[in-house]
């Protein structure tokens, strides 16, 4: 599976989206994901699809080491610029982890909003399992079937279309990903996190939408007009990032 959205390796788009979440979302998604991971001071952690370091940089002070892997050299450059000395970066596709000789072993592995971009996610899951020490934990996160339902409905109404079914990313998180782990890990758990996003103006809503995979320049005028109609009648537009976290223990 690949080329799912605009954020696969686009560092600027990723930064815009992270900034939009920081501005409009109340919850601490990264804190929740790291809680599931449960890494301790002796742990070596593999971050698969580390991006600009949302998870790596929060983890680093509390663990032995982090290896941050990402296809975007630009994102890894931004990460490295503020990383402490126990962080190493590895530029390259995580699909290549399967063929790359890697002597390192890890007690924990994490992959937030990234695993479903793999060309062959089954190979990547199998490789992560190989790289984990016995009892090691792999946590990966991404959108649930209900992710951003309110905003998606708003968008598709403008396109005069029924809301499409599950996205490839949500199908991976709800079905394929857990299934790939069940045959390889001793224990697999599904967790959920809801991060409400509240917008108080048409500008705010349009700004967020334009940082999101759904953005479609041909709908921009209609989107803005509909947002203005919404805020003429209501003070707030709410949607929610609904996240699935899979915790697999080797």
Ligand X SMILES: C[S@@+](CC[C@H](N)C(=O)[O-])C[C@H]1O[C@@H](n2cnc3c(N)ncnc32)[C@H](O)[C@@H]1O
What's the token pair of residue 47? 């971050």
**Other CB atoms within 10 Å distance of the CB of residue 88:** 14
Instruction: Answer yes or no: are the C-beta atoms of 76 and 50 closer than 8 Å.
Output: yes
Taking the chain, what is the end-to-end CA distance rounded to the nearest angstrom?
24
106 makes contact with ligand X (CB under 6 A) = no
113 binds ligand X (CB under 6 A): yes
**Is 248 an interacting residue with respect to ligand X (CB under 6 A)?**
no
> Does residue number 14 form part of the binding site for ligand X (CB under 6 A)?
yes
Query: What's the min distance (Å) between Cβ of 124 and ligand X?
Result: 8
CB contact at 8 A, 62 and 83: no
CB of 33 to ligand X, least distance (A): 8
| Beta carbons of 239 and 150 less than 8 angstroms apart | yes
Query: Closest separation between CB of residue 140 and ligand X, Å?
Result: 10
Largest Cα–Cα separation, the chain:
60
Report if residue 167 touches ligand X, rule: CB under 6 A. Answer: no
User: Binding of ligand X at residue 211 (CB under 6 A)?
Assistant: no
CB-side exposure of 127: number of CA atoms within 13 Å?
21
Segment interacting with ligand X, rule: CB under 6 A, options 70-78, 145-153, 185-193, 216-224: 70-78
Among 66, 68, 87, 118, indicate the residue that binds ligand X (CB under 6 A).
Answer: 118
Point out which residues bind ligand X (CB under 6 A): 7-9, 14, 18, 49-51, 54-55, 70-72, 75, 93-95, 112-114, 117-118
């Amino acid at each position: 599976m690949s080329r799912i959205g605009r954020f696969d390796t686009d560092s600027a788009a990723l930064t815009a989206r992270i900034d939009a979440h920081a501005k409009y979302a109340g919850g601490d998604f990264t804190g929740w994901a790291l809680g599931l991971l449960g890494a301790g001071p002796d742990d070596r952690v593999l971050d698969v699809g580390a991006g600009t370091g949302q998870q790596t940089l929060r983890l680093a002070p509390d663990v032995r080491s982090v290896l941050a892997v990402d296809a975007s050299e630009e994102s890894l450059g931004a990460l490295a610029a503020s990383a402490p000395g126990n962080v190493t970066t590895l530029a390259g596709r995580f699909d290549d982890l399967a063929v790359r000789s890697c002597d390192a072993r890890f007690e924990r592995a994490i992959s937030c909003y990234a695993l479903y971009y793999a060309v062959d996610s089954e190979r990547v899951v199998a490789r992560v399992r190989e790289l984990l020490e016995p009892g090691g934990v792999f946590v990966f996160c991404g959108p649930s079937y209900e992710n951003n339902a309110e905003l998606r409905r708003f968008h598709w109404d403008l396109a005069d279309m029924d809301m499409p079914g599950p996205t490839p990313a949500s199908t991976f998180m709800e079905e394929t990903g857990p299934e790939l782990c069940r045959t390889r890990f001793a224990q697999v758990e599904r967790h959920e996190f809801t991060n409400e996003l509240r917008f108080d103006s048409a500008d705010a809503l349009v700004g967020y939408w334009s940082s999101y995979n759904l953005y479609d320049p041909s709908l921009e005028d209609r989107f803005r007009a509909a947002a203005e109609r919404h805020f003429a009648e209501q003070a707030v537009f709410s949607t929610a990032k609904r996240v699935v976290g899979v915790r697999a223990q080797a």
